[in-house]
Amino acid sequence: MFLDVTARRNPSLIDAAVELHQKGLLLPDTYILDLDTIEENTLSLVNDAKKQGIQLFYMTKQFGRNPYVAQKIHDAGIEKAVVVDFKEALIMMEQGLPLGNVGHLVQIPQRLLKRIMLYGTEYMTIYSLEALQQIISIAVELNIKQKILVKVIEKDDQIYEGQFGGFHLDELPSIAHLSNKTDLVEIAGVTSFPCFLFDGKAKLLPTNNVETIKKAKMIFKEAGIEITEVNIPSATCHETIPLIKEIGGTQGEPGHALTGTTPLHAKMDLPEKPAMVYVSEVSHNLDGQAYFYGGGYYRRGHFSSALIGDAHSLVRDNVNPFSDENIDYYLSTQKEHPIGSTVIAAFRTQIFVTRSDVAVVSGIQKGITKIEGIYDSLGNLIRR
């Protein structure tokens, strides 16, 4: 999906990936993160968001909850993280990084709530009155203030399976009533997901979720609560930041944009450059096909081709379709290739749901390649 654009816009990344694998410094089933380019992408996003008056929170699940990269993104100007689940929150907390939004897409477990509130997060997203009551109780106990984002959902909204949760519009007055019992908890904003979807051509279009958000904002106003934050996540990048502003949003959450891998980046050249490739190795040949080590396959990744060879020569080959029902011990190509050949691919992924390693590499753009660390897909350091 991103192989052509990566070869054209970041050929140094491909060269570095081949060299590191051929030297035995990287094992197959490893994603390489180009740290220099991620930092450049971050700076560019920060500058664009400032012009539009949009607050950004960075998301790390796409590149494996990596704390080292998260620290660099923080240092480059996106100061706080939005964590997709409580396990990602714990990784960021261990790194000592500020949290911007916790609870969306996955709610905080009851017995972890106090720990996260003691650590501190600017916003918490809630799906239920019970969650709001727990937050109020802890805020009163600890005498701390907490701002809340309310996730809203209606029957015509676009919601992915496995992500259902939130308040229907007719439930919002109950939230207002409960929150008015204390000054320590503030209903500050509303959110939903996804707020943009790719049209399959060259545009990201607002979903009906945006209309639900606008209606929620009006309902809260009628209940005496002035909503100041409108969180508009999904595919936050240079192309959507102006759209967030246009539809009344105040917050965006770049994830794939940090590595230049939103669907739009496969169709058009945006300021964010590709900063991630997948590295594997040919294991064996059988019946005219080459089989390379798997582990990083993502069923929505559009993984269709790869570059295969060594530092002297790379050839392109198609990757055979793979069933979602099976485990990707191996993936195969349409032709045979020498055993031990490097395989380079670039496709849409969510590293945190793979079993891949993640190599954070600096200096690629300067010709002084350095592996800063090898991590697992969940952000744990394997070795430096």
pLDDT by 10-residue block (mean), the chain, 384 residues: 95 98 98 98 97 97 97 98 96 97 95 97 97 97 97 93 94 94 96 87 85 96 95 92 94 96 90 97 98 95 94 95 94 98 97 97 96 98 90
pLDDT at 205: 86
pLDDT at 6: 97
pLDDT at 358: 98
Q: Is the whole model's pTM more than 0.85, yes or no? A: yes
Q: Which are the contacts of 88, defined by CB distance < 8 A and separation ≥ 6?
A: 60, 61, 65, 81, 352, 379
pLDDT at 263: 86
**Sign of the CA dihedral running 115, 118, 119, 125:** positive
214 burial type by CB count under 10 A (0-12 exposed, 13-18 middle, 19+ buried): middle
pLDDT at 190: 98
pLDDT at 154: 95
Mean of per-residue pLDDT scores for the chain: 95
Of 141, 83, 145, residue with least CA distance to 120: 145
pLDDT at 203: 78
